[in-house]
Structures are given as C-alpha cells and as structure tokens.
Amino acid sequence: NDDLVVLGIETSCDDTAAAIVRSNGEILSQVVSSQADLLARYGGVAPKMAEEAHSQVIDQVVQEAVDKAGLTERDLSAVAVTIGPGLSLCLRVGVQKARRVAGSFNLPIIGVHHMEAHALVARLIEKELRFPFLALLISGGHNLLVLAHDLGHYTQLGTTIDDAIGEAFDKTAKWLGLDMRKSGGPAVEKLAQEGDAESVRFSIPMKHHKDCNFSYAGLKTQVKLAIASRNIAAKVPLSCASSQDRSSRADIAASFQRVAVLHLEERCERAVEWALKIEPSIKHLVVSGGVASNQYVRARLDQVVKKYSLQLVCPPPNLCTDNGVMVAWTGIENFHVGRYDPPPPANDPEDFM
Ligand code: KG4
Ligand code: ZN
C-alpha cells in the first residue's frame, strides 16, 4: 500500500493523455497527444470529432506511457481515470480504456474529478503544500476559486457566471488572426509582450459585485468591438501583417490580457480575505489549469499573495494544461484513503457509463 505505481488517463476535452506516477511523487512517464490541428481547422472542439480522435490514439498513448516508464501493465498498482466534468463522449473513451486495462490485469480503478486533479497536482510538486489551501483553477472551460479544507472536502468560493478566462483568450486569439495550432492562450501571451497594455481601455468585469465570481463574456465582446473599430485585417496571418496592423493587434492583446488578469487579481484578493476567516491557517494559493501557464498571470498573482504573506504554488506549464500526471496523482491520494473501486471483470463487454 505504501509504494504505488499508478497509471492516469485523461480524455475529458481535446487532449489524450496518460502518465505513470509513483506514490513518492516520481513521474515515471508522461504522454500527451493533442488535437490542436483539429482545433485550428475548426476553431473549437466538436465533441463527435474529438471522441474519434481520442479513440484513434488512446491505445497508443497508454502503451507509450507504459513503455516509457520501463514497465509492463503487471507492474501497476491501480488505474486512475478522469470521470468528469468534461465532454461525455470523450470521457467514455478514457473510462473504457481504464476498465479494459484494470480488468485485464486485475487492478483497482479510481475515478477522478478533473478539477480536483488540477488542484491536487500542486501537492506533487510542492511537498510543503498541506490542507487547508486556496486554489484558483483557470482553464478553457472552468474558472473556480476553491477552498480545499481536506482531501475530498472543498468549498467553492466563486465560479464564472458565463465564460472562463481561457475561452476569452482563445476567442481573442481567433479574432486577432493568431496561430491557433497550440491553442489561443500562448499566442495572445506572446503577442501581448509587444503591445501597450494601457492603450485600449477595456473595463474590468463585475467591479460592483463584491463577491468572488467571474465573468468574461462582456470582456470578450469589448475585444470584438475593439478589433472591429480598428479595421484590423484578421484574415491576414500575423506574419504577413503590416507593422502598423501588427502593433494594433499587439495593443489589443496586451490590453485584454491586463484586464482579464486584473479581474483574477481582484477576485483572488477577496477570496484570500474570505478564506483566512474560514481557515486562518492557510499558507498557499495554488494556481492551476491551462491559463496558469501564462507568465504574466503568475507574476501578477504572486504580487497579490505577497500582500498576505502567502506562497503562490503554480505547477510547471506541462502540469497546468490537461495531463495524465494530475490524474494519476489524484488517484494516489484517493487510494491512500480507501477511495477506489474493485477491479472490473476481465473482458467485460459492458460499458458502465
Ligand atoms: O486546463 P486546460 O488544458 O484544458 C481545459 O480543461 O480547458 O486549459 C486550456 C486553456 C485554453 O483556453 C488555452 O488557451 C489556455 O488554457 N492557455 C493559456 C495559456 N496556455 C494555455 N491561456 C493564456 N496563456 C497561456 N500561456
Ligand atoms: Zn483542464
């Protein structure tokens, strides 16, 4: 029970990921197959297409994770798999694969909550991170402020009332005509470095709502209008744009990023104040999810936590975006407290979802 070797499988959205992690925190292997090409072509995730893409690569991705770890399935202690939230067609591909592996090799199976995994992976990289702690989870589909009291015991302090920040980054990238092959966020972050963040006056969302909720739909609209009013030729790829066109795009990217992140800063300040009243012993703010790989986001939130003498814990970018390591690790944490299912029957033709 002490030394576990767990396979983690993640297929909730557009990445097919698998990893093998040991209970001491050692990452034995990590494989991610991205559908970024599909995304770029269609400008978003289409569930049916994403499901097919997962089905095509899942066996190969898991095999590669096992091989790269220098193991065989017989060396595994358990299989962890994301069971939600996410696109149900896509989740099924991962769950079916997990059940096949667990059934064939008589392994217990651990169902993992995707957002819990984004938060808990911080405990793999920062051994000092103990419960309770505060977590800001920012991705393409979610925007959550969560007070983690203990494993499996969370209080949601805030969520988005419309879009998540990652969605706003992705749309901004698309409307600015940026290269979407690696998802929009990194492209906006890169272009923003050339721009003047004060040049376009976007207003900060929900200024008058004194709570910890988020809203990004209005900011998205503001960006769309700003692009339209500047007559940017977004059909022209950035690499072919005139230098003036390029600099207006950069100004919009920088101004958008600044205000999008100001909204996070404000909400985090309030959440820290709330959290310290409920759990005065918290010492950490975890920031995870795809958008947490943004360096500007990290730098600004680091300033926020310093005011309260807290420590920012941000996993490295490849553990912030969707990955199998966070699923395997969350599986390990749950396994330790007895939260797992017995092995499914071998060669079970049933689909339990
Ligand atoms: O956690 P994740 O990989 O998938 C979801 O669960 O949604 O997050 C993906 C999101 C996308 O919206 C992507 O544009 C955003 O994270 N993202 C970024 C950056 N890298 C990824 N946003 C801003 N800056 C980045 N560097
Ligand atoms: Zn995610």
- Give all domains of the chain, ordered by start, each with its CATH number: 5-120+320-336 (3.30.420.40), 131-317 (3.30.420.40)
- What pLDDT does 352 receive? 52
Asked if residue 219 lies in contact with residue 164, where contact means CB atoms within 8 angstroms, the answer is no
Going by C-alpha positions, the residue among 94, 34, 104 that lies closest to residue 62 is 94
Find out whether 205 and 215 touch, Cβ atoms under 8 Å.
yes
Residue by residue, DSSP assigns 251-263 as HHHHHHHHHHHHH
The tens place of each residue's pLDDT in the chain, 353 residues long, gives: 579 999 999 999 989 999 999 999 999 999 999 877 666 666 666 888 899 999 999 999 999 999 999 999 999 999 999 999 999 999 999 999 999 999 999 999 999 999 999 999 999 999 999 999 999 999 999 999 999 999 999 999 999 999 999 999 999 999 999 987 778 999 999 999 999 999 999 999 999 999 999 999 999 999 999 999 988 878 888 888 999 999 999 999 999 999 999 999 999 999 999 999 999 999 999 999 999 999 999 999 999 999 999 999 999 999 999 999 999 999 999 999 999 999 999 876 555 55
Ligand nearest to the CA of 193: 1
Angle of helix 165-175 versus helix 217-229 axis, rounded to 10: 10
Whole-angstrom distance, CA of residue 313 vs CA of residue 298 = 9
How many angstroms is it from 139 CA to the middle of ligand 2?
A: 6
In the chain, count H helices and then E strands: 11, 10
Closest C-alpha to ligand 1, atom 19: 185
- CA 191 to ligand 2 center in whole angstroms: 24
Nearby residues for ligand 2 (ion, Cβ within 5 Å): 139, 322
Would you say the CB of residue 86 lies under 6 angstroms from ligand 1?
no
Backbone torsions φ then ψ of 143, nearest 5 degrees: -145, 95
Alpha helices in the chain (DSSP H): 36-42, 47-68, 88-105, 114-125, 165-175, 184-192, 217-229, 243-278, 295-307, 317-320, 324-336
- What is the rounded distance in angstroms from the CA atom of residue 108 to the CA atom of residue 213? 38
- CA of 292 from ligand 1 middle (Å) equals 8
Cα–Cα separations (whole angstroms), residue 163 to 16, 215, 219: 24, 6, 10
Yes or no: say if 297 and 287 are a contact pair by the CB < 8 Å rule.
Answer: yes
**Residue 230: both structure tokens together:** 């500047």
* Separation of alpha carbons 66 and 7, rounded Å: 8
For ligand 1, say whether the CB of 30 is within 6 Å of any of its atoms.
no
Task: Please give the distance of CA 254 from its chain centroid, rounded to a whole number.
Answer: 22
Which atom belonging to ligand 1 lies closest to the Cα atom of 257? Answer: 23
The Cβ of residue 230 has, within 10 Å, a number of other Cβ atoms equal to 13
Provide the whole-model pTM.
0.95
